[in-house]
Structure 1
């Protein structure tokens, strides 16, 4: 069995860290998908996760499996950890645990952080953690050079990029693998802040109030001019007027601070300091799924939708359902397709994408060209369905076959399997570019969604799998 040659660090995305508060010296969990309803209760109660009430919470681990907290979907990392541990016999440790000493012999480090506080705060903790680890593992500065490989999911990729660039960690790192990271921001975050969170089309006012306290959500706002306005130049998000952003107090200043953070990252990676060897960056991203892309000011409202804007250089690419494909590629890698790895899954599944293991195994290979590129290596399905649905509703499920042509014999089958058994979806309507159906109302719970296209020319069968949460509406 090959062993890891680096200290591999997994940095999760927003919502992906187990958080606790200190209760008489003993940490008390307030955010974790494993504990029934604990996260849902927390996100709907500003006194539990609001920054004003709790300026700092204790990160104690990574969320192991996908879960749902009101309108929020929580990523899970047990799959990725298991893949790496099994492939390399990795020794696993968790950063900065309040009740345990660091295992300096570990070669797979899990880095939870208080995801509410933003990219800069987490990156500063990451710098401290890695410097402490390397000081214990390496005898000289030369031994520390290129010693680390980081795998960052979603916002975790931005945390790593800020540590590598503005905080000076680049010489410690051999490679960075980002999984669905919004390098240029995500319109979904802007929609949450300005319009409020929706789950299955239903508003979640209390959850929206909690998230508006988190700097992390501002750090995910797009860093480019993506807001159309009548008769004028498209706006940066921080240029929105107070009437449009009335529900998000202090929006302009906090969005401008997030823009500055993204500019610090871009400045370093576009013009690195002389003598600094940049880590190899590989951006794993998804395309083909409906994803919020564009926004427009209409009176005192901001309308955000998934139609391709006119300026988009890759129309039809969509994204992973959360992050547009164009945003999941770093600015400096615009034309470097050897830095791209397209996969067919959606955002939550990217947290355990097997492609991360493939790339990790090839970090020391002379070329990654065999596994990289802008298109998945086989046909895939673009699936449009919210990650979070509301009980009692009848949402639409839309499917498109991508990377292959369908013919008259091609058919779609789907199944939702949840707490009370399986639910087969058999009635489909053909559309111009795929198939569509309406789901029956579902009881609350977590469901595994499987969609298959059969009798696909050449490919035969194409399968898509995901996880969907059904929750009660906010009272």
Structure 2
């Protein structure tokens, strides 16, 4: 494709316009825009019946605008970076099609066809006879390119059509601007804009008007103020370029669209104005995804979504890399394109205030350089260093914009003083006052002047906040920047509010919701204790899809009795209250505003609710930490978790009730999630979840069903256990060598190579390893990680605490061990009672003896009534056609006998530990890991943990393992994962006996034993 001709088509406002006198009417630099508003009068209104013809006003297209421009709330593209990239990549094989973007897209497409015909003919005569055209279009330029290709027959010369941020179904932003035409404005651009044929062809065709409880299109709704017939004309034009059923394109079609930006999507009447509702599915800030990536286009096009706004799309490193791959499939100089930097900033930021910022880089380095310059020069106005904050490629630092206006933020990744990666974004810095007004999202709010960053002082003031409380006696250090008043965005009706925080009533009812007077405050203070106890409460959705807005609500409440949240350190509250400083740490989520705010706490009453705006991005499990400070004194913190999945539902999260010592997210815990994707083809998805979120890997087992490999290992282990029980143990070295071979083969054939690489990247940081999902496809404990270039460390269960989790299993932070009940039915191994006796002696007086159970009915009744404590099985376990069975005195006890307990969740209140040390003297126990096995049934009933064997073990070794496990868990107070690892290591010296590998552990690896009910904490 290197011989092809690349033609770039800019979007709206992206070409210079020159008047009949030769003077530019649209080519001003940003500073000139601010100083010379009158020059915009050179863009007059066009005749209403112009259609697709020329206007006759003498205005013509000039050159390409290389820096961004702002008008009518739309910002043109910044094409300087793209120009440099195309020049470097294609040299003389680049052409720029500039046009009068006010006119009909049909007319512009006809001019494009004429230009391409001439350029391509010249390029072929210059030594490129087989050349075709690669058409690269930005924003509305994509409509011109699509009309050229699909209506005017340009497809015969096309190699590829690449559109970036093109609104194929129009965009609501144009409707918004046209409805502002009756607002007083010295520029009168709104009135002119409504007459441009190109603008009328951008009116949305998707339903976007909410009237009378219905969602209507512009052709169905009654919207006064739009040009007559404009909506119908837009529908006709956009329908002309829409995909035709059954058409196979002779060229490559590639759509690149921005996302993760709040984007206007619907309008609803609000008195004399129209209220804009933002899109929950986001977009590029101007056009929603349902327009930039319509469903009808997806079958024809390759689609790439980029977390960037309309302005930044073509200067975003991800987009530039995609453009390179789309045209040449290789990077500059024949090298593969480097992994791009990532920098996420809102398009509007506060001026003259220091703010935290984060970037992501795939390179192994310690810092990134960040510079702030004007959009049209390289003079550095702010410079800082972003320092690596963790192993996941995240860099953190601070950013400051020296004044209001448009600014370029440049992040550089450097190696040997050479810039090897570059990320540019353009943002607009405005006053905090202006930022507040802009986020109201109504059409009656400021337009052109405010978006230019000027005229803020002429705007109406925001609603007056509550009277500020006097400063406390001891002065506090100043916060880095003022806090934006809380803003309530109005989401669309199809996006449910994910969090609702009820504000408790004050202790004494008041007739009105006004603030108490000074005398009332003094009275309340007198009745309150000098040092009040408070709790910090936070609520966040527990699950959401990627790209969803998930507000975090925080409140400080009175602690008259134990309640939800984290208990804060006691602090004095004067009569007029104090101000606390709240900070939020939310790695993995996108901040939609400040992550620090102030909150006033008054005596004897709950505080107001503070809202922090967050948006989900990367999939995986994320932790959000909220901390409270009084001055420089740390008072306390509370943590929430949110699980982000592609296309997952949004679910409300409950108020966090765990005390601070009980953390649901344990440092160093890594989870391998294994899900069955297609039972017929035998494919599974593997996903490694840690502080770094890895993408799922779809995998078909190399040897077919992995159960075959498992069965071979179990046969070897069964034989070894039987030989050891008969006094003929296999040589320890020989047994380990054979098991090592089986384990390495299982690692090779049952774990995707990508997951193997990810595992070794995380290996030195893994403290516990949890397997979630399809438990019975692989004996995870027997995996022997072995790869070239990595140190051999042994079986996975030999050097890491490995724990399994089943779906529906709660994460118990403690295990009820205040008592111990033993299951020893008639016919149990001869030394079963000796095992019970030995365990009782080891427990001591801290664990109450609940007796020995021999009848199945009594055991079921014990479980269904909510047993609290240890339930230890020392018996035979047989396996037949109907599954696993324990023969009790009154009949069989099967996993199905736990069905009622599962429905009742009877074990949930106390989370007991179930230890299934069921074995036969001959060691002929089949593996019980089936879907209706003991482990998933007990865990689904609410057990806190389950321990059992995967193959036959001899009784003496089983007792040694149980004794070591209980010693670590109960006496030494080790968590579940560490206790199981220590127990394995304690019996590894048994010659020729593989029992130390036989146990599977289910539960929370961080769960600890609680020998009294009062010492137990709640679930996190």
> 3-state SS of the aligned residue for 2:87?
helix
Q: d(CA) in 1 for partners of 2:63 and 2:34?
A: 14
The answer to whether structure 1 residue 323 and structure 2 residue 287 are counterparts is yes
The answer to whether the 8 Å contact 2:352/2:403 transfers is no
Say which of 245, 248, 251 aligns to 1:271. 245
Deviation at 1:17, TM superposition (A): 0.1
Deviations 1:355-394 (A, max 9, x none): 345434444659xxxx9xxxxx88966544449x9xxx99
Counterpart of 1:429?
A: none
Map of 2:210 onto structure 1: 228
The question of whether the paired residues in 2 share the 8 Å contact of 1:148 and 1:175 is answered with yes
Match of 1:448 among 404, 408, 415: 408
One of 140, 153, 156 as aligned partner of 2:138: 153
Residue in 2 aligned with 1:351? 314
Q: State how far apart, in whole Å, the 1-side matches of 2:257 and 2:144 are.
A: 17
C-alpha deviation, 1:47, in angstroms: 4.2
Equivalences for residues 85-100 of structure 1 within 5 A: 85-88=87-90, 90-91=91-92
- Between the aligned partners of 2:211 and 2:85, the Cα distance in structure 1 is 47
After TM superposition, give the deviation of residue 305 of structure 1 in Å.
2.0
Check the 8 A contact 1:447/1:467 in 2, yes or no: yes
The answer (yes or no) to whether the contact 1:187–1:304 under 8 Å persists in 2 is no
Distance in 1 between residues matched to 2:64 and 2:293, nearest whole Å:
25
CA distance in 2, matches of 1:291, 1:238: 22
Structure 1 position 245, deviation (Å):
2.7
Partner of 1:66: 68
Q: Is the 8 A contact 1:147 1:172 kept in 2?
A: yes
1:37 alignment partner, one of 26, 32, 35:
32
Q: What TM-score, normalized by structure 1, do the two folds share?
A: 0.68
CA contact (8 A) 2:347 2:427 kept: no
2:25–2:40 contact (8 Å) kept in structure 1: no
Give the structure-2-normalised TM-score: 0.34
In structure 2, the gaps of 5 or more residues are: 48-54, 331-335, 361-369, 385-398, 413-421, 430-451, 459-1020
Which of these residues, 14, 20, 24, is aligned with residue 18 of structure 2?
A: 20
Contact 1:284 1:341 in 2 (8 A): yes
Q: Does 1:212 align with 2:194?
A: yes
Q: Secondary structure at the match of 2:308?
A: coil
Contact 1:385–1:398 (8 Å) recurs in 2: no
Verify the 8 A CA contact 2:134 2:158 in the aligned structure 1.
Answer: yes
1:239–1:379 distance in 2 versus 1, CA, 3 Å: farther
8 Å CA contact 1:283, 1:330 repeated in 2: no
Residues 302 and 68 of structure 1, relative CA distance in 2, 3 Å threshold = closer
Query: What pairs up with 1:263-412 in 2 under 5 angstroms?
Result: 263-266=239-242, 269-271=243-245, 277-298=249-270, 301-308=273-280, 315=281, 318-334=282-298, 339-354=302-317, 355-356=319-320, 358-363=322-327, 383-386=345-348
> Whose relative contact order is higher, 1 or 2, with alpha carbons under 8 Å and at least 6 apart?
1
Residue 71 of structure 1, CA deviation:
4.6
Aligned to 1:57: 59
Which residue does 1:253 correspond to in 2? 229
Q: Give the equivalent residue in structure 2 for 1:458.
A: none
Task: From the superposition, tell whether residues 295 and 70 of structure 1 become closer, same or farther in structure 2 (CA, over 3 Å).
Answer: closer
Decide whether aligned partners of structure 1 residues 472 and 262 sit closer, same or farther in structure 2, where only a CA change above 3 A counts. same
Structure 1: unaligned runs, 5 residues or longer? 92-106, 309-314, 372-376, 403-413, 425-438, 453-461
Q: Secondary structure at the match of 1:327?
A: helix
1:466 maps to 426
Q: Distance in 2 between matches of 1:255 and 1:55?
A: 25
Distance in 2, matches of 1:197 and 1:150, equals: 39
Go from structure 1 to structure 2 and tell me whether the alpha carbon gap of 1:357 and 1:440 turns closer, same or farther (over 3 Å shift): closer
CA distance, structure 1, for counterparts of residue 409 and residue 196 of structure 2: 31
Instruction: Give 3-state SS (helix, strand or coil) of 2:112's partner.
Output: helix
Once residues 152 and 373 of structure 2 are traced to their aligned partners in structure 1, the CA distance between those partners, rounded to angstroms, is 45
Distance 1:137 1:451 in 2: 37
- Mapped partners of 2:204, 2:266: distance in 1: 10
The structure number with the bigger radius of gyration is 2
- Write the distance in 1 (CA, Å) between the matches of 2:401 and 2:316: 30
1:33–1:65 CA contact under 8 A, matched in 2: no
Give the Å deviation of 1:277.
4.1
Matches for 1:80-229 after TM superposition, within 5 Å: 80-88=82-90, 90-91=91-92, 107-138=93-124, 147-195=132-180, 206-229=188-211
8 Å contact 1:32–1:39 — kept in the other structure? Answer: no
Q: CA RMSD in A?
A: 4.6
* Deviation (angstroms), 1:10: 0.3
The alpha-carbon distance between structure 1 residues 136 and 380, as it changes in their structure 2 partners (threshold 3 A), is: closer
How many Å separate the matches in 2 of 1:160 and 1:365? 22
Separation of aligned partners in 2, 1:282 and 1:134? 21
Contact 2:171 2:288 in 1 (8 A): yes
Q: Report what 2:77 is aligned to.
A: 75
1:426-461, Cα deviation, whole Å (9 max, x unpaired): xxxxxxxxxxxxx99975543235799xxxxxxxxx
